[in-house]
Amino acid sequence: MDGILVKDITKRYGDKTVLNNISFHINRGEILGLIGPNGAGKTTLIKIMTGLVKQDRGEVLIEGMGYGKNAIAIKEKLGVVPQEIALLDTVSGRNNLEYFARLYGLTGKTLKQKVDEVLELTGLTEHQKKKVKTYSGGMKRRLNLAAAIMHRPEYLILDEPTVGVDPQSRNAIFNYVKNMNREGTTVLYTSHYMEEVEALCDNIFILDLGKEVAYGSKENLRRMLGENSTVSVETEENTAALIPVLQNLPGVESISEKADSLELLTNTQEFHLSQLIHTIENENQVIMNIRVQEPSLEEVFLTLTGKTLRD
């Protein structure tokens, strides 16, 4: 089987179940977003997926291989960016990368080439001789990523790689991940930034208190809040005068009056934007602005977990 299969994973610490029967499949070439509030069990799940912690029940298969006798073969295919910075502070950035390159079995010209390549990719070439303890938080995060992708892994697992970094480094890391995926790398990505998950991921798995809350495409998760969208309408003058005629349109469930506009709650199965525009024009009103807003993933997350992503 291609990709990563997580099947029926359960993990307990004493009487506490931190993961309860977790299952999902990351197809080859896909980016799966793993999100959940603090304490949801994300980091424990990642440690199980990377062979650092053993589950009590279930299995993790990468291209059909489980850990144990296949551990070395799996780790050759896998790159891991942990939430904790895994670097040597007292040596240079380049020395750090050379150390990790040797762990991957790289030597000679190949080692030098790969180190140069990831330094360039992460924008750290001019800082390569500086000791890591002098790096900013964002630079350390980028070096952390560079160490994980040295061997061009087929699978990349990132545990909140942009936490606590400056916007420039955050955007850089985000773009590196997108580019690697375009080149064929399969990615599991966790983040506290919903806009990253929404822009980057094909499918999303929401975890809370060790249990699956929701799993699917962004579109399917939005549909869990119902078939509603909000339409804001602003006309040149007297927008409120439209309320009696607009509330009779198919699919309009309610209308609320704002300062300069009307906000329509609509059923997307019955409502047609063209009919709204035609009706307003028939009332001899000039449309200044129309905006259609579907439920955001942040709203979906809040509704399903009762918490914000950063809680």
User: Within this chain, do residues 56 and 174 fall inside the same structural domain, yes or no?
Assistant: yes
- The phi and psi torsions of 33 (rounded to 5 degrees) equal -90, 125
The answer to whether position 299 is within a domain reads: no
pLDDT at 157 > cutoff 90:
yes
pLDDT at 34 > cutoff 80:
yes
pLDDT at 249 > cutoff 90:
yes
Calculate the average pLDDT of the chain: 91
Q: For residue 86, what pLDDT is reported? A: 86
Rounded to an integer, the average pLDDT of 12-35 is 97
Please indicate whether residue 65 or residue 310 has the higher confidence score (pLDDT).
65
Q: Specify burial of residue 169 (Cβ count, 10 A radius: 0-12, 13-18, 19+).
A: buried
CB proximity list for 120: less than 8 A, separation 6 or greater: none
- Residues 43, 258: Cα–Cα separation, whole Å: 43
User: Within this chain, do residues 215 and 86 fall inside the same structural domain, yes or no?
Assistant: yes
User: Within this chain, do residues 114 and 19 fall inside the same structural domain, yes or no?
Assistant: yes
CATH (domain of 266) = 3.30.70.100
Q: For residue 301, what pLDDT is reported? A: 85
Query: What are the Cα distances from residue 288, in Å, to 239, 243, 282, 293, 294?
Result: 10, 16, 15, 17, 20
- Residues 207, 19: Cα–Cα separation, whole Å: 9
User: Within this chain, do residues 216 and 265 fall inside the same structural domain, yes or no?
Assistant: no
Q: For residue 125, what pLDDT is reported? A: 96
User: Within this chain, do residues 253 and 211 fall inside the same structural domain, yes or no?
Assistant: no
pLDDT at 131 > cutoff 80:
yes
What confidence tens digit (pLDDT) does each residue in 178-204 have? 999 999 999 999 988 888 899 999 999
pLDDT at 311 > cutoff 70:
no
- The phi and psi torsions of 57 (rounded to 5 degrees) equal -150, 155
The answer to whether position 14 is within a domain reads: yes
pLDDT at 163 > cutoff 90:
no
With cut-offs at 50, 70 and 90, classify the pLDDT of residue 4: very high
- Residues 119, 85: Cα–Cα separation, whole Å: 17
Decide if 81 contacts 63 (C-beta within 8 A): no
With cut-offs at 50, 70 and 90, classify the pLDDT of residue 310: low
Domain housing 194: 4-222
- The phi and psi torsions of 121 (rounded to 5 degrees) equal -60, -40
pLDDT at 46 > cutoff 80:
yes
User: Within this chain, do residues 91 and 209 fall inside the same structural domain, yes or no?
Assistant: yes
The answer to whether position 308 is within a domain reads: no
Which amino acid is present at 278? H
User: Within this chain, do residues 122 and 14 fall inside the same structural domain, yes or no?
Assistant: yes
- Residues 22, 232: Cα–Cα separation, whole Å: 40
Please indicate whether residue 225 or residue 118 has the higher confidence score (pLDDT).
118
User: Which of 222, 249, 267 is where one domain is finished?
Assistant: 222
pLDDT at 120 > cutoff 70:
yes
Decide if 31 contacts 189 (C-beta within 8 A): yes
User: Within this chain, do residues 154 and 276 fall inside the same structural domain, yes or no?
Assistant: no
CATH (domain of 81) = 3.40.50.300
Rounded to an integer, the average pLDDT of 19-39 is 96
User: Within this chain, do residues 198 and 244 fall inside the same structural domain, yes or no?
Assistant: no
| Whole-model pTM over 0.95 | no
User: Which of 222, 242, 265 is where one domain is finished?
Assistant: 222
User: Within this chain, do residues 207 and 235 fall inside the same structural domain, yes or no?
Assistant: no
As a whole number of angstroms, the longest Cα–Cα distance in the chain is 78
User: Within this chain, do residues 204 and 286 fall inside the same structural domain, yes or no?
Assistant: no
How many domains would you assign to the chain?
A: 2
User: Within this chain, do residues 49 and 152 fall inside the same structural domain, yes or no?
Assistant: yes
* Token pair recorded at residue 298: 């942040």
Q: Specify burial of residue 167 (Cβ count, 10 A radius: 0-12, 13-18, 19+).
A: exposed
User: Which of 222, 249, 280 is where one domain is finished?
Assistant: 222
